[in-house]
Each structure stands twice: as structure tokens, then as C-alpha cells.
Amino acid sequence: EARMVNDRAELAQAEAALRDRINLGLMREGVSMLDPERTYIDAGVEVGPDVVLLPGTMLQGRTVIGAGSTIGPDTRIVDSVVGERVTIANSVVRESEIGDECSVGPFAHLRAGTQLLRGAKIGDFVETKNAVLGEGAKANHLAYLGDVTIGAGANIGAGTITANYDGKHKHVTVI
């Protein structure tokens, strides 16, 4: 259906109508939304069955959410792939890959190039960039992990920073 959009108020109304249509379609396919009016999903985002989207969730770009995952509250995911049975709370995820059965947040920031393998955990106030966490590896709180590969089962302690810039080049840290 066509709708005239002549100002920002009418644009907001058109966006709300499209959001309602997307959310209704996903709920009919088995996605649960506690507050559809506060759930924002771009056209083209793929959401698997039995996913729970909590209030304040924003799924944008080329994002895929696997079956049985719980996203939110207040979580933004952009251009990322999220596996099955993943929990992400109060966090920002951009251009990342999260494997099955991972946990992220609260208050985590996964930046471009982050990969979490099965069962990895990123906790509160952890930021990652170009980081690979092996199966079952965890960084539970208060860490910056940039340009790093962390092996399976590793436990990164609070306050850890992978500083790998020598003033001219970045280097990969391997743990």
C-alpha cells in the first residue's frame, strides 16, 4: 500500500506501520516479543523460531538470529550472525559472529570482527574488537580484548587489556 510522506512526522508513522507489519509476521512464525511496540527489526533480518525478543531490542542490517535465543532487553545487533540458544542482554553487537549457546552481557560491546565459538561468554563491561574466543572461553567482566585469539576454555580475568599497538602497527595477541 502506498503512503504519502511529506515530513518527519509522516515518516515516523510510515516506519511504525512497517515495524508493526514486520513484528506481526515474525510473531506468527513463532517469535515472542514482550513489547512489540519497543522492538525494532529491519526488513531482511532473519529471526529463527522460539526466539524471545525483550523490550528495547533493535535488529538491523544483515542480521540473523538463531532458534531459541533470547535477545534484550535494550540490545542492538547490527550486521551480525547469532547462533542458536544464545543470550544477549543490554549490549551492542556489530559485525560479529556469535556461536551456539553463547552468552553476552549485560553491558558488553562486541565490535567488528568478533567471533565467539560455541559456549563462549562475554560478561558485563567487556569490549571486544577483532577478537576470537574459543569454545567455552570466557571474559566475565571489565576487560578490553582487541586483536586477540583466545583458546578454548580460557578464563580472562577482570581488568585484562590486550594492548597490541606499537605506535605504527597492530599485532595479534594469542592466549
Which residues are annotated as catalytic? 141
Please report the DSSP string for 102-136 in residue order.
-EE-SS-EE-TT-EE-TT-EEEEEEEEEEEEE-TT
Provide CB contacts within 8 A for 148, sequence distance 6+. Answer: 130, 131, 132, 162, 164, 172, 173, 174, 175
CA separation, residue 165 to residues 61, 71, 131 (Å): 31, 34, 15
Provide CB contacts within 8 A for 72, sequence distance 6+. Answer: 39, 53, 54, 55, 56, 57, 88, 89, 90
